[in-house]
Structure 1
Amino acid sequence: MGNRLVPAILIALLLIVHAQLWFGRGSVGNVSAMQQKLDAQKAANLEAQQANERLSSEVRDLKEGLEMVEERARMELGMVKPNEIFVNVTR
């Protein structure tokens, strides 16, 4: 009886491991589906990152553009901000 018990236990364990490989949480099909989801999420992340970079670039351009407009208004038109005193020093 002892001689038959060990192989029976090993076969049962092999069947359990094999069943997990095909039908369990870490099964081949499940891993494939998760890989597809991961690839789709990576693509979505890349698109979002590119959109963020575009928006960041637009914000930077707008800030620099406003600074240039403000500088030209000050130098060429002598404009000042509220509660600011304009002093023109010439040489």
Structure 2
Amino acid sequence: MIRWKLPLLLLVVFGYLQYALWCGKNNVYDYRDNVEMLVNLRADNEKLKARNEQMFAEINDLQRGYEAIEERARSHLGMVKANESFYRIIIDSDTKKQ
């Protein structure tokens, strides 16, 4: 009688563990989704780190020298120096098509 109870008990335990592995909470599919999400978050994090480094470099340029400030004033604010002429070239839409 004991001979068949132990294998049956082991089979039931094995079945429960398989169910938990494939269909229970934190199963194999959840693990795979979490790994994929982690890879995506790390890629996004690397992009944000690169952007932050670029911003810190720009901040250092602005703090150290007037050339970066002058370039920023010219490009963003449209400022010109004294005794300097500013020319704006407007392309005619008719000549642009040809």
Amino acid at match of 1:55: M
Deviation >4 Å, runs of 4+: none
TM, length-normalised to structure 2: 0.61
Give distance in 2, aligned partners of 1:31 and 1:5: 34
Residue of structure 1 equivalent to 2:14? 14
Deviations 1:41-84 (A, max 9, x none): 10111111011101110111011115xx9xxxxxxxxxxxxxxx
Sequence identity percentage: 24
Amino acid at match of 2:25: R
Tell me, what secondary structure is at the counterpart of 2:34?
Answer: helix
TM, length-normalised to structure 1: 0.66
CA drift at 1:25:
3.0
Residue of structure 1 equivalent to 2:36? 36
Residue-pair matches, total: 67
Larger radius of gyration: 1
Give distance in 2, aligned partners of 1:57 and 1:3: 75
Give distance in 2, aligned partners of 1:25 and 1:42: 25
Amino acid at match of 2:58: E
Gap regions ≥5 residues in structure 1: 70-91
